[in-house]
Amino acid sequence: MTTTPLSPIDLFAAALHIHPDGGVRAAERRMTNSDSGAWQIATFHVETDADVHADHWEMHPQAEEAVCCLTGGVRLYFRPIRPDDGEDMVQLRPGTAAIVPRGRWHRLELDAPSDLMSITLRHGTRLERRTETR
């Protein structure tokens, strides 16, 4: 039997990785590809659009992502599926979340400094610089 130390984990400094074997471990946050097979719960304090990489699209091919707004406010944009469509947007206020479908390109923009949480399987995660401007 493995014993886990009973001590607090700073969720703004580390992520929680939930492994297929049922283990949960504190680990380094990864915003791009991870081959660990673990789901990542990551919490962030963000002040500017640069902190959420608003100039990039992100996509998770292996799993959906829960994007949670704990404080502040953010807009979650989805890349158009068809070239002539506009971006879809979901506004998140404190205590709300949105589910990003598996394989759907998305990005964030802030309405205010915020505390955010994301929950996803990072395996295969891709980032792509956003070329269009508003």
Place of tokens 């709300």: 96
Q: What is the pLDDT of residue 1?
A: 46
For each of the domains in the chain, give its residue range(s) and CATH number, in order of start.
Answer: 15-129 (2.60.120.10)
Termini Cα distance of the chain? 55
pTM across the whole model: 0.88
Residue-wise pLDDT tens digits, 48-98: 999 998 999 999 999 999 999 999 999 999 999 888 899 999 999 999 999
**For residue 32, pLDDT beyond 70:** no
> What does R_g of the chain's alpha carbons equal in angstroms?
15
Q: What is the pLDDT of residue 131?
A: 83
Q: What is the pLDDT of residue 89?
A: 97
DSSP 105: -
Separation between Cα atoms, residue 66 and residue 119, nearest integer Å: 5
Q: What is the pLDDT of residue 124?
A: 85
Give the contacts of 98 (CB within 8 A, at least 6 positions apart): 66, 67, 76, 90, 92
Alpha-carbon distances, residue 43 vs 34, 40, 134 (angstroms) = 17, 10, 28
Residue-wise pLDDT tens digits, 5-15: 688 999 999 99
The arithmetic mean of pLDDT across residues 16-43, rounded, is 86
